[in-house]
Structure 1
Amino acid sequence: MKLKGVFAAALLLAGSALTAAAGAGVTAVTGVTVIPMDSERSIPNQTVVIADGRIVAIAEAGTVTLPVGADRIDGAGRYLMPGLADMHAHIYGFNNEEEEVAYTPVAEAQLLNYAATGVTLVRDAGGSPGHFSYRSRVSAGDWIGPDLFVASPIFEGERNVWDFTVKVTDPSAVEPLVADYAETGYWGLKIYHTTSSEVFDAIMASAQAHELPVMGHVPFDVGIDATLESGISSIEHLRGYDFDGVPVASLWADGGRSRERFSSWNRMTLERRDELVSKTVAAGVWNVPTLAVNRMLFDPATRTRVIEHPRFTRLLPAMQQGMQDLAGLDAIFSAESRDALGEAYPVMLEFIKALSDAGAGLMTGTDSAVPGYVPGFTVIDEIQSFAEAGLTPFQALQASTIAPARYLGIADDRGTVAVGKRADLVVLNSNPLEDLSALWDLSGVFLNGRWHSLADLEAAMDEQSAVAAE
Structure 2
Amino acid sequence: MRFTLTPLLLAIFSALAVQAQDLLVTNVHVVSMENDQVLKDQAIYVSEGKIQKIIPLTAQTPRMSADQVIDGNGAYVFPGLAEFHAHLPVADDGSTQLQEESMWLYLANGVLRIRSMLGHPSHLDLRSRVQSGETEGPRVFISGPSFNANSVSSPEQAAQMVRDQKDAGYDHLKIHPGVELDEMWEIANTAKEVGIPFGGHVPLAVGIENALGSGFKSIEHLDGYMEGLLPEDFEIDPTTSGPFNLKLVDKVEMEKISALIQKTLDQSTYMAPTLTLFDRYFGYVPADEFRMAPEMKYLPGPLIQQWVNSKKQLERAGMLDREFVEPYLAFRNQLFMELHRAGVPMIMASDSPQVFNVPGFSIHHEIELMSKAGMSNYEILKTGSVEPANYMNAEADWGMIKEGMLADFVMVTDNPLENLKTMQKPLGVMMEGKWYDQVRLQAELDRIEKNHERK
TM-score, scaled relative to structure 2 = 0.89
Kept in 1: contact 2:29–2:39 (CA 8 A)? yes
- Deviation string 1:46-86 (CA, Å, 9 cap, x unpaired) is 0011111111110113625534x521112123110100001
Kept in 2: contact 1:444–1:452 (CA 8 A)? yes
1:379 maps to amino acid: I
Is 1:373 the equivalent of 2:357? yes
CA distance in 2, matches of 1:287, 1:105: 31
Matches within 5 A, 1:325-364: 325-332=307-314, 334-337=317-320, 339=322, 340-364=324-348
Matches within 5 A, 1:253-272: 253-254=238-239, 258=242, 261-272=245-256
Aligned pairs, how many?
Answer: 442
For structure 2, the 5+ residue unaligned runs are: 1-5
- Deviation string 1:210-242 (CA, Å, 9 cap, x unpaired) is 111111100110111111111110000011013
CA distance in 2, matches of 1:251, 1:39: 45
Aligned to 1:75, the other structure's residue is in SS state strand
Evaluate the alpha carbon distance shift between residue 462 and residue 229 of structure 1 in structure 2; reply closer, same or farther with a 3 A threshold. same
Bigger shift: residues 215-224 or 458-467: 458-467
Identify the residue that residue 28 of structure 1 maps to in structure 2.
Answer: 24
Bigger shift: residues 113-122 or 47-56: 47-56
Given the alignment, which residue of 99, 114, 117 partners 2:109?
Answer: 117
Kept in 1: contact 2:238–2:245 (CA 8 A)? no
Evaluate the alpha carbon distance shift between residue 257 and residue 264 of structure 1 in structure 2; reply closer, same or farther with a 3 A threshold. closer
Identify the residue that residue 455 of structure 1 maps to in structure 2.
Answer: 439
- How large is the RMSD of aligned CA atoms in angstroms? 2.7
Bigger shift: residues 271-280 or 232-241: 271-280
2:424 maps to amino acid: W
Is 1:426 the equivalent of 2:410? yes
- Deviation string 1:394-415 (CA, Å, 9 cap, x unpaired) is 0111111101111110011111
Identify the residue that residue 3 of structure 2 maps to in structure 1.
Answer: none
Evaluate the alpha carbon distance shift between residue 249 and residue 455 of structure 1 in structure 2; reply closer, same or farther with a 3 A threshold. farther
Matches within 5 A, 1:26-425: 26-61=22-57, 63=61, 65-67=63-65, 69-94=66-91, 96=92, 98=93, 100-101=94-95, 104-157=96-149, 160=150, 167-244=151-228, 245=230, 251=236, 253-254=238-239, 258=242, 261-297=245-281, 298-300=283-285, 304=289, 307-309=292-294, 313=297, 315-318=298-301, 322=304, 325-332=307-314, 334-337=317-320, 339=322, 340-425=324-409
Aligned to 1:341, the other structure's residue is in SS state helix
TM-score, scaled relative to structure 1 = 0.87
- Deviation string 1:270-294 (CA, Å, 9 cap, x unpaired) is 3212222122111111110101110
| CA drift at 1:126 | 1.1
CA distance in 2, matches of 1:465, 1:281: 44
Kept in 2: contact 1:323–1:371 (CA 8 A)? no
| CA drift at 1:247 | 8.3
| CA drift at 1:331 | 2.1
Evaluate the alpha carbon distance shift between residue 316 and residue 349 of structure 1 in structure 2; reply closer, same or farther with a 3 A threshold. closer
CA distance in 2, matches of 1:253, 1:213: 29
| CA drift at 1:142 | 3.0
- Deviation string 1:313-367 (CA, Å, 9 cap, x unpaired) is 4x14448x61795212342574334532332111211111111111111111111
2:78 maps to amino acid: M
Evaluate the alpha carbon distance shift between residue 248 and residue 286 of structure 1 in structure 2; reply closer, same or farther with a 3 A threshold. farther
Identical-residue share of aligned pairs (%) = 28
